[in-house]
Amino acid sequence: MVTATNSLELRLDRLLEEDEARGLDATLITSDESIAYLTGFRPIQLERFFGIVVSAERSAVIVPALDRGQIEEAPRRLIPISYGAESDGIPELVETLAGARTVGVEEDHLIYARARALAQQGFELVPAGSVVMGLRIAKDAGEIERIRSACELVEEGLRRAFEWLAPGAVEHALNARVEAWLREQGATVAHPLILFGENAANPHADPARRELRLGDVVCADLSVCLDGYWGDLTRCATVGAPSEWASAAWQVVLEAQRAAIAAAQPGVPGRDVDAAQRQIVEAASGLGACLHGAGHAIGLSIHEPPFLVPRWKEPLAEGTVLTIEPGIYKGGLGGIRLEDDVVVSDGGPEILSTLPLELVELGR
């Protein structure tokens, strides 16, 4: 991912303004995606501490010595600090934060052990994930183009997957083949989840050594990270003509997706987008269960706020990119889900993919 250094500097400026407006002495950024957003580099964290401290006093990027080669391109304002194998990085963090009292943290990423260590040093931690997320949520034009490019790769992956699908194809091997193809095209991460028949009734099933058979539905969910940004689409197919259940479930999900996309307008609470699909899917409960919300935002992370679920009251912001992905699931039979990535915009929802909305009929 290459982002112009001046745009990174602007992001730091905005974060600092937000911090000051909230009375925070400093903010500690620890998630992979927020670190990437502010520096252009995405760490391999494992058990090691990586952090960015942003404050009017002293801003820094702290990494293990192992990774110091990665931060050479970070904005100049961030003092590069690396720590050796004798440290866990916390003493360097505490020293960088010296003088601060209230420290904003990414509460959905910072682990309890580090939060506790900071509290014991007298810092008052304040949940501030929404501060940096508030910046990340509205994508700029360059970010939207990257998500569109990721979607294009997913579309091509779905086309190939459906070409490669024929009775006898093994679920696990097909997923590996699609993943390999996506990675060869430049995806830094690729997560195909292409499920056959009754496996598709469990949205997070593991692909198995199960062969595709006549009469199966196929639920094909592909996500890739390309140049730092994710795309995530789902299409479905049947082997041979669709059963009565598959046709009916498809129509319900198609209608639910249309309704949820139409509802995805700036200012609308996330839960209203969910409600738009939920009432349609739940009204068809004879066809299966509504197991999840309408979708989630996407960007540097595959799943990021806002989440389109009943508990999400905050209004959608212009420039947010959402997956809209209603589904219906019937144990023993299968699942149908339909997913596109959509920009929330004053001009109306913009769908970033161009793949037809059809229940693909695979040759026997």
Determine how many CB atoms are found less than 10 A away from the CB of residue 146.
22
Q: Any contact of residue 2 with its own copies (CB under 8 A)? A: no
By beta-carbon proximity to its own copies, the closer residue of 43 and 157 is 43
Distance CA 291, CA 61 (A): 40
The strand pairing partners of 83, in sequence order, are 64
Buried b (16+ CB within 10 A) or exposed e, 316-352: beebbbbbbbbbbbbeebbbbbbbbbbbbeeeebeeb
Q: Any contact of residue 13 with its own copies (CB under 8 A)? A: no
* 16, 201, 280, 300: residue in contact with its own copies (rule CB under 8 A): 201
Q: Are 314 and 306 in contact (CB under 8 A)?
A: yes
* 14, 58, 94, 115: residue in contact with its own copies (rule CB under 8 A): 115
CB of 28 to its own copies, least distance (A): 11
Q: Which of residues 59-88 bind its own copies (CB under 8 A)?
A: 64-67, 69-70, 84-88
CB of 110 to its own copies, least distance (A): 4
Q: Any contact of residue 122 with its own copies (CB under 8 A)? A: no
Give the binding range for its own copies (CB under 8 A) out of 43-51, 53-61, 148-156, 229-237.
43-51
Residues 6+ apart with CB under 8 A from 284: 248, 249, 252, 328
Residues 6+ apart with CB under 8 A from 321: 139, 143, 144, 147, 297, 298, 299, 341, 342, 343, 344, 352
Give the binding range for its own copies (CB under 8 A) out of 159-167, 174-182, 214-222, 314-322.
174-182
Site string for its own copies, 232-261 (x = CB under 8 A): ------------------------------
Give the binding range for its own copies (CB under 8 A) out of 58-66, 130-138, 213-221, 232-240.
58-66
* Size of interface with its own copies, in residues (CB under 8 A): 59
* 2, 6, 23, 113: residue in contact with its own copies (rule CB under 8 A): 113
Question: 283: helix, coil or strand?
Answer: helix
Q: Any contact of residue 189 with its own copies (CB under 8 A)? A: no
CB of 38 to its own copies, least distance (A): 18
Location of structure tokens 């931690």:
125
Q: Give the DSSP letter of residue 303.
A: S
Q: Any contact of residue 57 with its own copies (CB under 8 A)? A: no
Q: Give the DSSP letter of residue 197.
A: G
Does an H or E element contain 133, and which? helix 129-137
By beta-carbon proximity to its own copies, the closer residue of 13 and 108 is 108
CA distances from 16 to 25, 27, 133, 139, 333 (A): 10, 8, 14, 19, 53
CB of 284 to its own copies, least distance (A): 17
Residues 6+ apart with CB under 8 A from 243: 215, 217
Q: Any contact of residue 129 with its own copies (CB under 8 A)? A: yes
Location of structure tokens 């195909």:
192
Question: 232: helix, coil or strand?
Answer: strand
Q: Any contact of residue 47 with its own copies (CB under 8 A)? A: yes
CB of 203 to its own copies, least distance (A): 6
Site string for its own copies, 297-316 (x = CB under 8 A): -----xxxx-x-xxx-----
Distance CA 49, CA 77 (A): 20
Q: Any contact of residue 208 with its own copies (CB under 8 A)? A: no
Contact footprint for its own copies (CB under 8 A): 43-44, 46-47, 64-67, 69-70, 84-88, 105, 107-113, 115-116, 125, 127, 129, 172-173, 176-177, 179-180, 183-184, 186, 188, 201-206, 274, 278, 291-293, 296, 302-305, 307, 309-311, 331
